[in-house]
A = this chain, B = another copy of it.
Amino acid sequence: MKNLLVPAAAVAALLLTLPGESFAQGAVRWQPLPTVAPAPADNPTTPAKVRLGKMLFFDPRLSSTGTVSCFSCHNIMEGGDDHRPVSIGVEAQRGGRNAPTVFNAAFLSVQFWDGRAATLEDQAKGPPVNPIEMGMKNFGEEISRIQAIPGYRPYFVQAFGPGNVVTMDNAAKAIAAYERTLITPGSAYDRYVEGAHNALTAQQIRGMNDFASVGCAGCHQGPNFSGPPLPMGQGFFVKFPVYPQSPYVAKYDLMKDLGRYDVTHNPADKNVWRVPGLRNLLYTAPYMHNGSVKTLPEAVRVMASTQLNRELTDQQVNDITAFLGSLTGPFPKQTMPRLPPTPGDLLGR
């Protein structure tokens, strides 16, 4: 996996060189979210895969205890995360990082806070075999669990054809295909940059201009505010905090987790993180990789201080917060899947 680690100072130049649909206001190219998420060549999004993937996404039987599903930490009935500082997996184990939202994850070029998965397909294979998340021993145990629910096979066949298709790779492909439908184009912001000048309030427009002029858009750019469009697997990584002397760093313990360094063991990657998207933040409190910051205005203050060495005025904070609120929804309407029945010997006590 290639990395794109961008010094904050070099980002401004990058802004004006990006391709794609855009709307000029100030120095930033504002881009609406596409209405279809890109899919890799070896996993085109099909209705049969999406249907199967939705079933697997909601199925707690994919965890050791039968109680934790993708949905447990990625609640798509709310913000696509789990509304907790850090997640709780099987046997009440706490994770170390705040669950990122699954909404619009399809527009991220790498997955997880530290970018350790190149694709949604790779990401989907992580939590099931993480001992403190879904707790299955290995892929073999996981796919055996799915194979032990006979009602799943017809859905795998419809999605992937006949033969030995109830595989971990196909399960991950189906989940990824479903996740590519969990996108939220058409927010007030999107409508505004597509020409609906009344879609934003005056305060939101002030906040949008502040967002650009203060420097937030240096990293939080592109349609998902998670960086420039990059090839899948090429991450957009930034140091956080850039200014460790910010008083918020100690207050919120922002340097304890070394981020990408834990993946690469490269000293240059200490406290380096994938730039997260900013859509639907009203639904994803609390904030930061450790879930330590409880409110969105405070998160705006923290980021301005730690990344830009700026102390914002209350009006700037409120206006930027109002602008960020314009990046909310609409969330895709969802019918509930029907899951196949459980053999009585599937799970122990």
B337 touches A335 (CB 8 A): no
Question: A293 at interface (Cβ–Cβ under 8 A)?
Answer: yes
Known: A335-B333, A336-B334, A349-B86. A341 touches B67 (CB 8 A): no
Cβ–Cβ < 8 Å partners of A348 in chain B: 85
Cβ–Cβ < 8 Å partners of A287 in chain B: 344
B336 touches A336 (CB 8 A): yes
Complex-state Cα separation, A333 to B76, whole angstroms: 18
Cβ–Cβ < 8 Å partners of A333 in chain B: 335-336
A61 touches B77 (CB 8 A): no
Question: A338 at interface (Cβ–Cβ under 8 A)?
Answer: yes
Cβ-defined partner of A347 (8 Å) among B65, B78, B85: B85
Residue of B nearest to A68 (CB): B67
B85 touches A60 (CB 8 A): no
A83 touches B346 (CB 8 A): yes
B339 touches A336 (CB 8 A): no
Question: A42 at interface (Cβ–Cβ under 8 A)?
Answer: no
B79 touches A338 (CB 8 A): no
Complex-state Cα separation, A169 to B65, whole angstroms: 33
Question: A82 at interface (Cβ–Cβ under 8 A)?
Answer: yes
Complex-state Cα separation, A296 to B343, whole angstroms: 10
B342 touches A83 (CB 8 A): yes
Complex-state Cα separation, A94 to B348, whole angstroms: 12
Complex-state Cα separation, A58 to B260, whole angstroms: 35
Cβ-defined partner of A294 (8 Å) among B79, B285, B344: B344
Cβ–Cβ < 8 Å partners of A84 in chain B: 65-67, 347, 349
Residues of A within 8 A of B (CB): 58, 60-61, 65-67, 72, 75-79, 82-86, 88, 90-92, 94, 282-283, 285-287, 291, 293-296, 331, 333-349
Q: A60-B72, A67-B72, A77-B337 are in contact. List 11 more A-B contacts (CB 8 A).
A: A60-B82, A61-B83, A66-B84, A67-B84, A77-B336, A84-B349, A85-B349, A285-B343, A295-B344, A334-B336, A336-B336
What would 24 A/B residue contacts be, using CB atoms closer than 8 Å?
Answer: A58-B77, A60-B72, A60-B82, A65-B88, A66-B83, A66-B84, A67-B72, A67-B84, A75-B339, A77-B336, A78-B342, A79-B341, A84-B349, A92-B92, A94-B349, A283-B341, A285-B341, A285-B343, A287-B344, A294-B344, A295-B343, A295-B344, A295-B345, A333-B336
